[in-house]
């Protein structure tokens, strides 16, 4: 075999090895002990997939984020009844303030509804539920939070995708090594995960307009039908279900949204 063809064959085999995942996959763990070794291995995989030096540097500066693990192990509110969940998350407060925000931002919500077909109620309900209308967006290091969950053995495939998305956003200059997030890497006023930012982000997610437009864009992409209802059993409830997998959360958004849209 000629040297040129041999080199081409070796390159093809190496490409398959890198992109296949399993053969070179970084080893997950359930404690901090293996994180640094995993990070080195993941960085090599990421380089082979074309991730640039800025993002690799950010990953290498990340740390095992114990608060993220504690939060991931301790999520209990989604097991509450609807009434308990609404009480715990301040559903009546979100609805009351949401009605005022609908009026004070009428122009923005009219523009969003014209563009995406999504009325103010569910958007405001999500905005209030996720961050208290932008008041609490998280204070974790985003790349540390996401990489910790990508390393953790509970759901590595899910968060590997999120980590690659975060690295791509860093390479683009949309995120940085210092980007702040909530416990699982959620960013912005309606808490987009990195992959969701890549796919549906519109403008600056730290601003109310960018976050709300992005959320409407997400809902439209997941089947939102202009003018249709969004309560359980109605056409647009499926889009709310796509936003969050927890049944009690879905019901809360639909109920709060209806109270905002109806003015009651």
Q: What's the mean pLDDT when you consider all of the chain?
A: 91
* Percentage of the chain exceeding pLDDT 70: 89
Q: Which residues are within 8 A (CB) of 101 and not within 5 positions of it... i.e. 6 or more apart?
A: 124, 133
- Residue 144's Cβ-count burial label (10 Å; 0-12, 13-18, 19+) is buried
Are residues 95 and 198 in contact, defined by beta-carbon separation less than 8 angstroms? no
Residue 167 has, within 13 A of its CA and on its CB side, a CA count of 26
Q: Which residues are within 8 A (CB) of 42 and not within 5 positions of it... i.e. 6 or more apart?
A: 26, 59, 147, 150, 151, 163
Pick from 73-82, 115-124, 174-183, 232-241: least confident: 73-82
Are residues 256 and 91 in contact, defined by beta-carbon separation less than 8 angstroms? yes
Residue 1 has pLDDT above 50, yes or no: no
Q: What is the DSSP string of 93-154?
A: HHHHHHHHHHHHTHHHHHHHHHHH---HHHHHHHHHHHHTTTT----EEHHHHHHHHHHBSS
pLDDT for the residue 200 = 98
Residue 153 has pLDDT above 90, yes or no: yes
Predicted structure pTM score: 0.87
Are residues 165 and 47 in contact, defined by beta-carbon separation less than 8 angstroms? no
| Local confidence band at 24 (pLDDT 50, 70, 90 cut-offs) | very low
CA–CA dist 15, 12 (Å, integer): 5
Nearest-Å Rg of the Cα atoms of the chain is 21
pLDDT in tens, 168-181: 999 999 999 999 99
Residues tagged active-site: 130
pLDDT for the residue 76 = 65
- Residue 161's Cβ-count burial label (10 Å; 0-12, 13-18, 19+) is middle
Assign 166 to helix, strand or coil. helix
CA–CA dist 121, 138 (Å, integer): 24
pLDDT in tens, 185-216: 999 999 999 999 999 999 999 999 999 999 99
| Local confidence band at 16 (pLDDT 50, 70, 90 cut-offs) | very low
pLDDT in tens, 62-84: 999 999 999 998 766 678 999 99
């Amino acid at each position: 075999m000629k040297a040129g063809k041999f080199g081409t064959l070796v390159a093809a085999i190496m490409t398959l090895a890198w992109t296949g995942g399993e053969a070179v996959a970084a080893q997950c763990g359930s404690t901090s002990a293996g994180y640094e070794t995993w990070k080195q291995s993941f960085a090599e995989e990421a380089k082979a997939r074309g991730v640039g030096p800025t993002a690799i540097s950010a990953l290498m500066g990340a740390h095992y984020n114990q608060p993220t693990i504690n939060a991931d192990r301790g999520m209990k509110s989604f097991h509450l009844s609807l009434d308990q969940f609404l009480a715990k998350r301040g559903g009546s407060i979100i609805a009351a303030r949401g009605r005022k925000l609908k009026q004070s931002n009428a122009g923005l919500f009219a523009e969003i509804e014209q563009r995406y077909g999504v009325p103010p109620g569910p958007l405001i309900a999500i905005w209030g539920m996720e961050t208290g209308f932008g008041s609490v967006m998280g204070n974790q290091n985003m790349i540390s939070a996401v990489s910790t969950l990508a390393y953790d053995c509970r759901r590595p495939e899910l968060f590997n995708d999120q980590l690659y998305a975060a690295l791509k956003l860093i390479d683009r200059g949309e995120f940085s090594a210092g980007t702040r997030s909530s416990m699982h890497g959620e960013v912005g006023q309606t808490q987009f995960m990195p992959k969701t930012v890549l796919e549906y982000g519109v403008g600056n997610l730290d601003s109310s307009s960018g976050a709300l437009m992005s959320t409407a864009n997400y809902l439209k992409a997941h089947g939102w039908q202009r003018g249709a209802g969004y309560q359980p059993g109605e056409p647009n409830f499926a889009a709310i279900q796509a936003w969050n997998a927890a049944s009690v959360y879905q019901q809360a958004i639909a109920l709060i949204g209806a109270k905002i849209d109806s003015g009651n």
